[in-house]
C-alpha cells in the first residue's frame, strides 16, 4: 500500500487519520494514483524539473502538491495548480491572464516570513495544458495542527503566546499592505510555525482564489438553458473573515486584522468562531471562555468591530497599541508585616537608646499582654501558675492568697520599671557624653562607635536597592527583547547598535547609558524608542536568517569574498554596492555615512554598518540565484531588446550584456522618476557612464569590450514598473573574453557606497 503524506511530507501508513509525526489531520484524498490526482501520479516529473510526492490540498481554484525540485538537489517545494471551475475558451483565457497578473504580485513579495514564489510554468498533461505556480516549502507545523495537538492534551495557547504571535505576524501584514496586497484568508491553517527559527510564516494568499471568483462572476458565460451565472467562489473562512468580505467580496487591510484577531481567540479558547459569536446579537462573546488581560482584550475587541470604520485601520496601529500593553495588576493578597514583640512578665521591654542627634521623646511602656502557658495535664494554665504543678489535685488559691500574689506582682512590676528607667538614663548619659566629645573633635576624626547594649539588638545595615522601574517600562523592555529574539540577533550586537545610534542622536551622552531612577526614566524611554526604530528597520529589511545571525561579525574578509563571488558572475562590486545602498537607504536615510559625517570605511566599521553588510550578503545570494542579476541577450538578427520589472522601495536589479569595443549603444529607461540608473563599463578603472542618475537615456560608442552593467534601483514608497530598452549596433557579434574585476580597485574606481 502507498503511504499517506501530510503537508510537511511525513509518510504515514494507509488508513492513518492523523500524521504520526506532527499530528496534522490527513486527507483521505491524498492518494498517489493518477485518477485521484487529476492525471498526476506519485513520482511523475512535471516541467522536466518537479517530482510529484503527494497532494496536500484542493479547492475551487485548483490543487496543491508537494514536490521535489530536481534542479535544487531534490529540495522540497509546493506546486499550486491553477484550474478554476470555469467553462468556455474566453473564461479560461481570462482566468490565465488574471492568474499570471496575480502571480506577478506574489512574486514581488520578498519577506522572510512569506514563502518565496519561484516561477510559473505550463505543462501538457493528458492532452491538456496545465498552469502551475511554484513556491518555497516551509518545514513546520500549522497553528491548526498545533492547536489540535494541544486539545488532545487538554491545553490551549497562553496569553503570552498569542501576544507574541501578533507581534511577529503584524509586521508581515504591514509589509504586504504597504505593497497594496491583502492576504484575505488568515486562519490557523494558513500560519505555519517554522522549525528552523520558530517564526510564524504566512501562507496561502487568497489572491489566487480571488482570480477564480472574478472569472466565475464576471467572465463565465450563461449556460445554454439561459440559466443564471454561477455564484462566485467564497473568499475567506466563515467566522474568520469579516461580513463585508464574505457578503460583498470587499477587502481592506483591516479585513486581515479582523481575521488575525479571530485566529488569536481560536488559539486562546480552543473554540471555533461560531462558538464564540452570539447567535442573536452576532457579536463576539469570548470572555465566557477565556480570561485575558483588559488591555489585550480591548485590542482584540477593536480589531473585531462589526463596523469597518471602528477597527484599527493598519497593522502599525495594532503594533503601537500592543507596545503600550501593561499586564494586569497582581491582586494576590499581600502578607501583613509581623507584629511587634509583646512584653510579658518573663520579658522586659527595653527602650532603644536615643539617637545622638535627636531629642528623646518620652513614651509610656507598652501594657503587658497575657500569654498562654504550655498545656499541663490537658488543662490550659493561665498567667497565675498552680502552686503545686505535680499535685494531682491542684489547690485553688484563696482570696487572701490572691491579694498577696497581686501585691507581690505589682511590686515586681514597679522594680522592673525602675530598673528600665535607670538603665535608660545611664545609656542616655553615656551616649550624650560621647556625642558631645565627638562633636568637639575635628571633622577629620570619625565619631567613636558605641558598642550595643547587651540587652538590645544591634542595628542591621540594610543595603539600598535601586529604585524600581515602572511596570510600563518593564513591559516596554520585555517587548523589545521579544522582538530581538524573534529576529535572532545577538544581545551584544543589539546593545552596541542601540548605543551607537543613541549616542549619534544624543552626542552629549556619548559613552554613557541612562542610569536607574525616576529622574532618568525619560532618557531611558528615548533610548528604548531608538531601539524600537532599529528593530523596525531590521524587520523591514527582510534579511535572511543567516544574514541576521551574522550581524556583528562582518568584516573586510567578507567584502573581499563577495567581490570575488560576483566577479565570477561578471558583476562588479560597485554594482553590488549600488543594490546594497538602495536597500539600506530605504530603511533610514539619516543613518547613511554622509549624514553621520563618516567616510564609507569608517561607516563599515561601525555597528550600524553591519546592517549594510547583511544586506550585501543577501544581495550576493540573490545575484547567484538569478533574482537580482540577469543577462541581456539579443535574438539573432536583432539589434534591440527590452527587459522589464516591478520594483518596490529599496529594490534593484542588475543586468549585464557582453558587448564589443566601438559599438554604438543607446539605452532608454521608461519608468517612474524615482528609479535611478547606473551604467558601468567592464573595467573599474574607467568611470561610470551613468551612476545613480535620474537621467533616463544614454547613447555613445563603447570604449571597451566586455560585460557592461545596467543597474536599476527604486526609491519610491510604492511599487513601480520600468522598462529598459537597449539598442546596440551589431549586437550579435561576440566580443573577446575579458578579465574579471581586479581584487583591489584603483583609486579612480567608484568603490564607495552610501
Q: Range with the lowest mean pLDDT among 185-199, 333-347, 487-501? A: 333-347
List CB contacts of 386: < 8 A, sequence separation 6 or more: 376, 394, 395
Residue 154 has pLDDT above 90, yes or no: no
Tell whether the model's pLDDT for residue 316 goes beyond 70. Answer: yes
Could you read off the pLDDT of 380-391 as tens digits, one per residue? 333 333 334 344
**DSSP code of residue 358:** S
Q: Which of 88, 259, 93 is nearest to 186 (CA)?
A: 259
Q: In what order do the strands lie in the sheet with 191-194?
A: 140-142, 191-194, 200-202
Name the band, by pLDDT with cuts 50, 70 and 90, for residue 268: very high
What DSSP string runs through 381-400? --SS--S-TT-SSPPPPPHH
Q: How far is CA 198 from the centre of its chain?
A: 10
**50-59 sheet: strands from edge to edge:** 45-46, 50-59, 62-69, 75-82, 128-136, 117-125
Cβ–Cβ < 8 Å for 200, 191: yes
Percent of the chain at pLDDT above 70?
64
Return phi, psi of residue 330, to 5°: -75, 110
Instruction: Say yes or no to pLDDT of 166 above 90.
Output: yes
Contact present, 586 and 650 (Cβ < 8 Å): yes
Residue spans of alpha helices (H) in 119-217:
143-152, 159-178, 207-214
% of residues, the chain, pLDDT over 90: 36
pLDDT in tens, 608-622: 999 999 999 999 999
CA separation for the pair 704, 597 (Å, rounded): 36
Residue 334: pLDDT band (50, 70, 90) is very low
pTM score above 0.75:
no
Contact 547, 562 (CB under 8 A): no
- Ranked by mean pLDDT, the top range of 344-348, 436-440, 530-534 is 530-534
Per-residue confidence (pLDDT) for residue 523, from 0 to 100? 87
Give CA–CA dist 134/105, Å, rounded. Answer: 14
List the Cα angle 390/391/397 in 5-degree steps.
Answer: 110
pLDDT over 90 (residue 700):
yes
State how beta strands 690-693 and 664-671 pair: unpaired
pLDDT digits (tens, 9 = 90+) for 93-113: 666 666 666 666 677 788 899
The whole-number average pLDDT for the span 516-538 is 86
* DSSP 3-state of 128: strand
Are the CB atoms for 42 and 36 separated by under 8 Å? Answer: no
Joined together, the cell numbers standing for residue 2 give: 502507498
Straight-line distance from the first to the last Cα atom of the chain, in angstroms, rounded to the nearest whole number: 61
Identify the residue with better confidence: 243 or 447. Answer: 243
Q: How far apart are CA 369 and CA 386, in angstroms?
A: 20
What residues are annotated to the active site?
Answer: 185
Cβ atoms of residues 1 and 13 within 8 Å: yes
Looking at residue 730, its pLDDT comes to 72
Question: Which residue would you say has higher pLDDT here, 409 or 743?
Answer: 409
Residue 659 and residue 692: Cα distance in Å, rounded?
A: 22
The DSSP string of 591-628 is GSTTTTT--HHHHHTSTTHHHHHHHHHHHHHHHHHTSS
CA 265 to each of CA 172, 270, 351, 624: distance values in angstroms, whole numbers, following the listed order: 19, 8, 62, 43
The single residue listed with the C-alpha cell 520599671 is 417
- pLDDT tens digit sequence for 551-576: 999 999 999 999 999 999 999 999 99
pLDDT band per the 50, 70, 90 thresholds, residue 18: low
**Cell output for 635:** 535574438
What are the pLDDT digits (tens) for 115-142?
988 888 888 766 667 788 898 999 899 9
Distance (Å, whole) CA 525 – CA 530: 9
DSSP state of 25: B
pLDDT band at 85 (very low <50, low <70, confident <90, very high): low
As a whole number of angstroms, the distance between CA 369 and CA 339 comes to: 13
Q: Can you give the pLDDT at residue 754?
A: 65
| 274 vs 378: CA distance, rounded Å | 66
Q: pLDDT band for position 198 (50/70/90)?
A: confident
Q: Tell me which residue has cell 547606473.
A: 678
Nearest CA-CA partner of 350 in 433, 301, 416, 288: 416
DSSP label at residue 33: S
pLDDT band at residue 324 under the 50/70/90 scheme? confident
Taking the C-alpha atoms of residue 620 and residue 90, their distance in angstroms, rounded to an integer, is: 43
Is it the case that residue 547 has pLDDT exceeding 90? yes
The per-residue pLDDT of the chain, averaged, comes to 75
Which residues, 6 or more positions from 466, have their beta carbon under 8 angstroms from its beta carbon? 516, 517
**Residue 272 DSSP one-character state:** -
Model confidence pLDDT, tens digit, residues 411-425: 555 555 555 656 555
- Three cell numbers at 393? 489535685
Q: Between β-strands 50-59 and 62-69, what pairing exists: parallel, antiparallel or unpaired?
A: antiparallel
Residues 6+ apart with CB under 8 A from 560: 743
Q: What pLDDT was estimated at residue 93?
A: 67
pLDDT at residue 318 greater than cutoff 50: yes
- Tell me if 291 sits within 8 A of 311, measured CB to CB: no
Residue labelled with grid coordinates 488574471: 98
Report pLDDT for 94.
63
Looking at residue 745, its pLDDT comes to 38
Sign, CA dihedral 213-215-218-220, equals negative
Between these two residues, 176 and 510, which has the higher pLDDT value? 176
Amino acid at each position: 500500500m502507498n503511504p499517506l503524506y501530510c503537508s510537511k511530507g511525513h509518510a504515514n501508513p494507509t488508513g492513518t487519520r492523523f500524521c504520526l509525526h506532527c499530528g496534522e489531520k490527513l486527507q483521505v484524498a491524498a492518494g498517489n494514483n493518477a485518477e485521484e490526482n487529476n492525471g498526476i501520479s506519485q513520482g511523475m516529473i512535471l516541467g522536466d524539473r518537479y517530482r510529484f510526492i503527494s497532494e496536500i490540498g484542493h479547492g475551487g481554484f485548483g490543487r496543491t502538491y508537494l514536490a521535489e525540485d530536481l534542479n535544487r538537489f531534490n529540495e522540497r517545494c509546493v506546486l499550486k495548480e491553477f484550474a478554476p471551475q470555469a467553462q468556455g475558451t474566453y473564461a479560461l483565457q481570462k482566468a490565465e491572464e488574471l492568474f499570471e497578473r496575480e502571480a506577478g504580485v506574489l512574486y514581488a513579495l520578498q519577506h522572510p516570513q512569506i514563502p518565496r514564489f519561484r516561477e510559473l510554468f505550463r505543462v501538457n498533461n493528458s492532452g491538456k495544458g496545465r498552469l502551475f505556480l511554484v513556491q518555497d516549502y516551509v518545514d513546520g507545523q500549522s497553528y491548526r495542527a498545533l492547536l489540535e495537538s494541544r486539545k488532545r492534551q487538554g491545553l490551549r495557547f497562553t496569553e503570552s503566546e498569542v501576544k507574541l504571535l501578533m507581534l511577529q505576524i503584524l509586521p508581515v501584514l504591514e509589509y504586504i499592505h504597504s505593497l497594496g496586497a491583502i492576504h484575505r484568508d488568515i486562519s490557523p491553517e494558513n500560519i505555519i510555525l517554522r522549525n528552523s527559527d520558530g517564526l510564524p510564516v504566512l501562507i496561502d494568499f487568497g489572491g489566487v482564489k480571488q482570480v477564480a471568483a472574478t472569472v466565475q462572476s464576471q467572465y463565465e458565460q450563461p449556460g445554454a438553458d439561459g440559466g443564471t451565472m454561477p455564484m462566485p467562489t467564497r473568499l475567506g473562512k466563515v467566522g474568520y473573515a469579516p461580513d463585508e468580505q464574505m457578503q460583498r467580496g470587499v477587502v481592506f487591510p483591516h479585513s486581515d486584522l479582523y481575521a488575525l484577531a479571530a485566529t488569536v481567540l481560536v488559539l486562546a479558547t480552543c473554540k471555533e468562531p461560531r462558538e464564540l459569536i452570539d447567535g442573536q446579537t452576532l457579536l463576539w462573546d469570548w470572555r465566557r471562555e477565556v480570561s485575558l488581560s483588559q488591555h489585550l482584550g480591548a485590542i482584540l475587541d477593536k480589531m473585531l468591530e462589526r463596523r469597518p470604520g471602528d477597527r484599527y485601520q493598519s497593522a502599525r496601529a495594532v503594533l503601537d497599541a500592543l507596545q503600550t500593553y501593561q499586564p494586569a495588576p497582581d491582586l494576590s493578597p499581600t502578607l501583613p508585616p509581623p507584629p511587634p514583640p509583646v512584653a510579658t512578665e518573663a520579658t522586659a521591654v527595653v527602650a532603644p537608646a536615643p539617637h545622638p542627634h535627636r531629642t528623646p521623646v518620652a513614651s509610656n511602656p507598652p501594657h503587658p499582654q497575657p500569654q498562654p502557658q504550655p498545656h499541663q495535664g490537658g488543662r490550659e494554665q493561665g498567667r497565675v501558675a498552680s502552686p503545686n504543678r505535680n499535685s494531682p489535685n491542684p489547690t485553688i488559691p484563696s482570696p487572701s492568697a490572691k491579694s498577696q500574689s497581686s501585691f507581690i506582682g505589682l511590686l515586681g512590676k514597679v522594680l522592673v520599671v525602675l530598673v528600665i528607667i535607670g538603665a535608660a538614663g545611664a545609656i542616655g548619659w553615656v551616649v550624650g557624653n560621647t556625642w558631645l566629645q565627638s562633636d568637639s573633635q575635628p571633622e577629620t576624626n570619625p565619631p567613636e562607635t558605641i558598642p550595643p547594649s547587651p540587652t538590645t539588638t544591634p542595628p542591621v545595615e540594610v543595603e539600598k536597592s535601586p529604585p524600581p522601574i515602572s511596570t510600563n517600562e518593564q513591559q516596554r523592555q520585555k517587548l523589545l527583547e521579544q522582538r530581538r529574539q524573534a529576529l535572532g540577533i545577538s544581545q551584544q550586537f543589539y546593545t552596541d547598535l542601540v548605543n551607537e545610534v543613541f549616542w549619534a542622536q544624543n552626542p552629549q551622552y556619548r559613552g554613557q547609558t541612562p542610569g536607574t531612577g525616576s529622574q532618568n526614566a525619560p532618557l531611558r524611554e528615548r533610548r528604548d524608542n531608538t531601539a524600537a526604530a532599529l528593530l523596525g528597520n531590521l524587520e523591514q529589511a527582510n534579511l535572511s536568517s543567516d544574514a541576521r545571525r551574522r550581524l556583528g561579525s562582518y568584516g573586510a574578509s567578507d567584502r573581499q569574498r563577495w567581490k570575488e563571488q560576483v566577479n565570477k558572475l561578471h558583476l562588479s562590486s560597485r554594482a553590488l554596492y549600488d543594490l546594497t545602498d538602495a536597500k539600506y537607504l530605504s530603511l533610514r536615510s539619516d543613518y547613511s555615512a554622509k549624514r553621520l559625517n563618516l567616510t564609507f570605511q569608517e561607516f563599515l566599521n561601525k555597528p550600524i554598518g553591519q546592517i549594510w553588510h547583511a544586506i550585501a550578503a543577501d544581495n550576493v545570494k540573490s545575484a547567484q540565484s538569478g533574482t537580482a542579476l540577469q543577462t541581456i541577450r539579443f535574438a539573432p538578427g536583432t539589434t534591440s531588446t527590452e527587459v522589464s520589472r516591478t520594483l518596490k522601495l529599496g529594490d534593484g536589479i542588475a543586468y549585464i550584456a557582453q558587448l564589443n569595443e566601438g559599438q554604438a549603444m543607446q539605452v532608454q529607461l521608461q519608468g517612474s522618476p524615482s528609479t535611478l540608473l547606473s551604467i558601468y563599463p567592464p573595467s573599474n578603472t574607467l568611470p561610470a557612464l551613468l551612476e545613480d542618475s535620474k537621467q533616463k537615456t544614454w547613447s555613445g560608442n563603447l570604449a571597451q569590450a566586455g560585460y557592461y552593467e545596467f543597474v536599476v534601483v527604486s526609491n519610491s514608497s510604492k511599487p513601480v514598473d520600468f522598462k529598459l530598452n537597449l539598442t546596440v549596433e551589431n549586437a550579435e557579434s561576440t566580443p573577446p573574453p575579458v578579465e574579471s574585476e581586479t581584487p583591489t580597485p584603483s583609486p579612480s574606481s567608484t568603490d564607495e557606497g552610501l
